[in-house]
Structure 1
Amino acid sequence: MSNPLAKLLRVIPAGTHLVIGGTMVLGAASYIQISIAGHALASSPRAAVSELWSLVMTVSLGLFFPIEQELTRVVAARAVRGEGVAPVLRRAALLTLGLLVLIGGALALGAGPLANTFFGGDRTLVWAFAGSLVGMALVYLTRGILAGLGLFNSYGISLALDGGLRIVLAGGLFLAGSHSAVAYGLVLAAAPLFAMLCTLPATLRGCRPGPLMPWNELFQNMTMMITASVLAQVVVNAAVITTALVHTDTRVTFALLSAGVLCRIPLFVFGSLQPTLMTGLSTTATTGDRAGFRKMLVQTCAVIVGLGLAGAIPAVFIGSWLIHTFLGAPNVLGSMDFFWFSAGTMCYMLAMVLGQALMALGRHRWQMLAWLLGTAALVAVTLVPGLVTTRVEVAYAFGSLVTAAVMLLTLVQGVTKRSSGPATNGAAAASALENV
C-alpha cells in the first residue's frame, strides 16, 4: 500500500500506458485551468466560470460519456466477429447530434433563467456552455470508436491533446491579460474539438463497411447507463451547483469548487486506469473466473482506500493553504470542509469500482438503482437546516456512501442472481457473485 498506483497498475491489463498518461494530462489541465482563471478573474466572473465548468462536466459526462462506453462495447464485439463498424459510427453520430439539437433548443428557450441563475446574467456564457457540450460530445464519439477498435495510442493522444490545449489556451489568455469569463469558458469548447479533429483520420480509417446496425444494439443498456451517469455527475458536482442556487457569496462558490478539485486528485488518478479495469472485470466475469473477479475487485477497492487516504491527509491539514496559493481561492474553508470532501471522494471512487463490477456482470439496472438511492440521500441531507457549505459537503459524502453500500450489498448478497445480462450468462454471473 506504500505505492498505491503501482499496485493498481498490476491489477489492470497491460498495454494502455499512453491512455494513462493522456488522462493524467487531462486531469492536470483541470487544475491548471481553474488556477489560471482564479488568478485572472474578479470574484463574480470567476464564480461564473466555476459554475460553467461544473455544468459542463455534469452534462457532458452524464449524457455523452455513456455513449463512448457503449460504443466501446459494441465496436469491440463487432471487431471480434470481423464485422466493419462504419454503421455503428453513423448510428452513434445520429444519436449524438440528436441529443445536441435537443440540448441546443432547451438552452435557447431557457437562456435567460440559466444565465441569471448560474452566470450572473451573462448570456454569452450560455452559448459558451453550448459550445463546450458540442466539443465534448464529438470527442466522446470518436473515443468510443478508438477504444472499441483497440487503437489506444490514438485514444491517449486525444486525451493528451485535449488537456494540453486547455493548458496552452488558458495560459495564453492569462499572458495576454484577458479578464473575460467567456474567453476562459470557450477553452472548454475549443480543446476537445481540436482533439477530435486531430484523431478523426485514425477513427475513419478504422471504420470499414459492415452489416447494418439495428438501433437496439446501441440502445440495449443506454437508458440505464445515461441515467446512472447523470446521477453520478450530479452527486460529484452538486456542492458547487447547489451553493450557486442558494448562496449569494461568489467567494464561497469558487472556494468550494477549488476544494472539490483538490480533493478529487485521487479520482483523476483512478480515472486514468478505469478503462482497462473495466476490460479486466468483463473478461473474468464472462469466462466465469470467480476467483479472478473477486481478487481484482478486492485489490482494486483496497488500492482505492489507499489512494483516498493519500489524498485526504494533505487536503485536511493544508488544503486551505493549497487552494489559496495555487488556485487563488479565498480563505473561507476549514479542515472539516476538506475532510468531508475527501471522504466523499473515497466513497465515490468505491462506488465507481463497484458500479463497473455490476456492469461487467450485466447488471446495469442495479447500478442505476444504487445511484438513484445515493442521489436521494444527497438531496435529503442537502435539505436539512444548517450552514449551506456543511450541508452540501456532508451530502456529497453521504450520497456517495449510500451508493457504494447499495452496490456492495447487491454484489455480496447476490440480489441480481435472478436475472441475466448481456455481458455474461446466468451461470457465470451467479458464480461470480457467490464469491464476491
Structure 2
Amino acid sequence: MSETEALTFPTGRPTPFDPPDALAELRESRPLARLDYPDGHRGWLATSHALVREVLADRRFSARSELRHIPIESGGAGQPSPPGMFIGMDPPEHTRYRHLLTGEFTVRRMRRLSERIEEITEERLDLMERQGPPADLVEAFTAPVPAVVICELLGVAEEDRAGFMSQGTRLTRQDLSQEEKISTFLALQAHMRELIVAKRARPADDMLSGLAQSDLTDEELANIGFMLLGAGLDTTANMLALGTFALLRHPGQLALLRDDPGRVDQVVEELMRYLGVIPFLVRTALEDVELGGELVAKGETVTVSLQAANRDPSRFPDPDTLDVLRDTAGHVGFGHGVHQCLGQQLARVEMRAGFPALFRRFPSLRLAAAPDEVPLRTDMLIYGVHSLPVTWDTT
C-alpha cells in the first residue's frame, strides 16, 4: 500500500488482549495515515503515542459531535450534542458543564466513597460465594459493582436500576439501527427526566440532587445523568472483567498482586495501558493543521488509536508484555487533554477495590472454559467480554 493510499480502520484482534496487528505496522511505517470512513469521508488515523497526545491536547481539533466522522459502521451521521451532553462539545460550552461536575469527581470525594465501594464489592462477592461455582463473573461481579455504584451516586432507586442498566448497555451495541438507538435513547432520557423531577421535589444526598440546585434545566440534567450512567457502567465493568481475564492468563503478574495487594495501583494503571476497552477517539480539525509532517485540512477528522498509542515502544519498552511493575506514566487509557475522562478517579477506586478483593476471596479462581471460548465484545463500541466463566475450589 502506498503512503497516499487510504485504508479502513483496522479490526480483528490476534488475541483477546492485543490490538489489531495492522495498528503496529502503521505506527512503524505511517503513524499518521489516510483513513476512509464508512460515510465516505476521507480523514486520518493517528497511531503513535506522541501524535495521539498531540491531537487530544490541541484545541484546533474539535470534539463537537456534529463535526465528527466515525471510523466504524455506527448507524448515522454526526448530530449536534443535545444540551448537557458535553462530551461532544468544545469550550466554552464544554467548560461550563465540566466545571459543574468537577467537584463531584475529585480525588478527595472518591476517597470518601472508597468505604462504600468496598462494601458493595464485598456484598457481591458474598453473594457469589453463597451461590457457589461455577459462575459468570460478568453477571455475578464485574457488571453489578459499577452499576450499583453509579446508580447510588446518581440517586437511582433500587427498583429502577435494572431498566437503566439494560438501556445504557444497549446503546453501546454496534448492530443497532439508527431508529433503535434513537428509541432506546429517548426511553432512557424519559426515565432520567422523571428522576430529575423527583430530585427537584425531594433532594437527597446524591449527585443529581446536588446538580439540581444549579441553574441547569431539566433537559440538561437528564442528558448529564444519561451520559454519566452510560460512562459509569460499561467502561469500568469491562475493565474489571477483561482485567481479570488478563491476570488469569498471566499468572506471574497475578502472583505479584496476590503477594502484595498494595501494588494494586500499579496493576490498575498497567491494565489501563495494556487492554484499552475504548479503542479510539475522534477529533475534527477546525482549521488547517500541520501534524506529523502532513497537512490535516479544516473539516477532516482524525481518529486517534488509544490502543496503538499505549503499545508504542518509543514510550513503553516491550509494550506488548503485561508488566505491572513498569512505569505507565503518560498512558492514554483515560484519554488526554480537556476531555480526559472525568470519572477516572471513580473508575480507579472501583478497580482498586475489585481486583484485590476478588483474588483474596477466591485464591483458586480460574477460567471454567477454554480461553478461546470466552465471548469477546467485538460487536460493541466498548470492548471487553460478554461473559467470563470462572470456577474455584470450595474446600
Q: Tell me whether the two structures share a fold, i.e. TM-score over 0.5.
A: no
Q: Which has the higher strand share?
A: 2
TM-score scaled by length of structure 2: 0.29
TM-score scaled by length of structure 1: 0.27
Higher relative contact order, structure no. (Cα contacts within 8 Å, ≥ 6 residues apart): 2
